[in-house]
Structure 1
């Protein structure tokens, strides 16, 4: 660690998250799927709506978003795209905090989601009552929260960050001598702290997908594929991050597959990202980082069960019925928009 900085994990008892079982996915017959996609395209057009999908959603949804003039991206770019797009209805295929962020930045637009029950373990790990109380007990700290949080938690923060901009933001704050209260992902927080030397209090949350990657099993897989580059999302445990050739956001990992000369890649993040990687680099061989091994609770956990709640069928139903609309009170949206806009403005200074 730099400058004698301390890494301190918050002494907070976070709630246990009930993780849903992975849904049974029955592949639709080709003609039925084609007809369903055409129906969705018609509904999007009729309702002046645009579809934005996260990299972790099903490949059919990602493909449909791009076919209809929408986008496939990380959570921040999804919201930013919606701000710039003229459509008055945004359909967000992802998890609930992504829909909320889109609504916060586009409060005058209608925001729909295929399934409002699609949440996120990081969001659930960080309820506003516990988090606000912890912030109140540490008023000398600057509160920085990851995008994977509720609108209420964002509104209680000074900064919102994504994995792609967390490092420069924390480095900027550390250089000013500020102490950081970070939430909710402890692995990403620890990664950022090690690289910046910032003094940070880490909220003890984690992602149920990235938490399951196993370091010993990864070493064994690397031995079998010694020429493979290892790509790791920083929400992963430290002993997995330590083995990475590239650590970065979803966008950064996709760029690595496209630009690095390696033929093979071992990827430690949600397997939904493979759809975009294969689209952009069809000649590359992609291997999922292992989740099985000592201490494993499943054979293959590298899919978010909440992301899997997004389906073509639910998307069509949402557009047909208007169900699944995201609501964020105007005053709450205004408060939550402040730390998000602070990040966006900071990102512009980085580009300059």
Structure 2
């Protein structure tokens, strides 16, 4: 069963990835090398560490690696930042990732190259509308994806990442709990189908993964019958149905290493290719087909908001400050509680049985 949202979602503008990339400063030759060296020096001077998501430009991923930072998924970015001795975390990603870092590390300064880097799942699940949705289903355990605002996390019973969502929901369902899921309906549908859980779903999708096309993928598979298909579960069901491996960003990289296939068709943000090429340099990586480079294609397999992170605005925030992430303390405490429940579950500690109204 899928439940419609209780009120129309706010409309938001999705910038075209190509347009965003044209606005970013371009550095070449000696100028680019000077920028890189200046950023490295400033990270040391500011007692800062750079944590970057798999989907940002490879320049930032490489820079994080070279300076002792982290390239990973959103939760591992936050955990790395929490455990790192640096007093300042610089988060290259989208806004909810900076918030997650602040939720786990309130004593640290959290900066981002830009605070304009949003996420369609976050924007598509505003806290006030989500609260009304929860109020309409008070008997359900509220499980939200990490791609949400701190306010939404604070309203939830559990936060999950794509790597642990199935296992946690299956555990809750095994205890007889009914689930309210938000925000990605494709991921929610996949979890419901694979766990058998009783779930109502919020109705929002990722602008990147929603663009993958099942029929075009079938055509590409016919052209490359030797290829394995790797799919992120935020993708439509007919795309997931063709997968040899379904999983989070980290799980897809692991599958690329472990599968024997020499050709891989990858249905997630193309930013992941940098890390995949490192792990399997001998394999051929093909991007799964999207809606095409037309007026209807928001992302063309690359998040336009991730594309807002670049060397230029990273240098600017390190030189001049600003773009600091703040989370109001009462909200942070609520979001930490729901996030900590997931962390406890991942570490093998029993999840609590929640009563009505528990958060």
TM-score (normalised: structure 2): 0.93
Structure 1 CA distance, aligned partners of 2:349 and 2:262?
32
CA-to-partner distance for each residue in 1:55-102, whole Å, 9 max, x for gaps?
000000000001000000000000000111000000000000000000
| Among 3, 7, 10, the residue aligned to 1:9 | 3
Q: CA deviation at 1:280?
A: 1.4
Residue 109 (str. 1) matches residue 104 (str. 2): no
Q: 1:288 aligns to what? A: 287
Structure 1 CA distance, aligned partners of 2:206 and 2:224?
27
Q: 1:217 aligns to what? A: 216
Structure 2 CA distance, aligned partners of 1:294 and 1:62?
26
Asked whether the 8 Å contact 2:64–2:71 carries over to 1, the reply is yes
Structure 2 CA distance, aligned partners of 1:299 and 1:329?
32
Residues 238 and 348 of structure 1: CA distance in aligned 2, closer, same or farther (over 3 Å): same
Q: CA deviation at 1:17?
A: 2.6
| Among 19, 29, 45, the residue aligned to 2:14 | 19
| Structure 2: tracts of 5 or more residues without a match | 351-359
Secondary structure at the counterpart of residue 9 of structure 1: coil
Q: 2:95 aligns to what? A: 96
CA RMSD of aligned residues (A): 1.7
CA-to-partner distance for each residue in 1:260-279, whole Å, 9 max, x for gaps?
11110000000000000011
Structure 2 CA distance, aligned partners of 1:270 and 1:345?
29
Asked whether the 8 Å contact 1:214–1:290 carries over to 2, the reply is yes
Deviates more, 1:276-285 or 1:11-20: 11-20
Residue 230 (str. 1) matches residue 225 (str. 2): no
Secondary structure at the counterpart of residue 216 of structure 2: helix
Secondary structure at the counterpart of residue 291 of structure 2: coil
Q: CA deviation at 1:298?
A: 2.7
Asked whether the 8 Å contact 1:48–1:89 carries over to 2, the reply is yes
Matched ranges for 1:256-335 at <5 A: 256-292=255-291, 297-298=296-297, 301-335=300-334
Structure 2 CA distance, aligned partners of 1:157 and 1:116?
24
Q: CA deviation at 1:335?
A: 1.2
Asked whether the 8 Å contact 2:231–2:268 carries over to 1, the reply is yes
Q: CA deviation at 1:332?
A: 1.3
Q: 1:140 aligns to what? A: 139
- Between Structure 1 and Structure 2, how many residues are aligned? 345
Q: CA deviation at 1:9?
A: 3.1
CA-to-partner distance for each residue in 1:289-314, whole Å, 9 max, x for gaps?
00136998239610000000000010
Q: 2:163 aligns to what? A: 164
Asked whether the 8 Å contact 1:65–1:72 carries over to 2, the reply is yes
Structure 1 CA distance, aligned partners of 2:294 and 2:44?
49
Structure 2 CA distance, aligned partners of 1:128 and 1:319?
31
| Structure 1: tracts of 5 or more residues without a match | 1-6
Asked whether the 8 Å contact 2:25–2:312 carries over to 1, the reply is no
Structure 2 CA distance, aligned partners of 1:37 and 1:259?
34
Deviates more, 1:156-165 or 1:326-335: 326-335
Asked whether the 8 Å contact 1:128–1:153 carries over to 2, the reply is yes
Residue 72 (str. 1) matches residue 67 (str. 2): no
Q: 1:36 aligns to what? A: 35
Structure 2 CA distance, aligned partners of 1:156 and 1:26?
39
Q: CA deviation at 1:191?
A: 0.1
TM-score (normalised: structure 1): 0.95
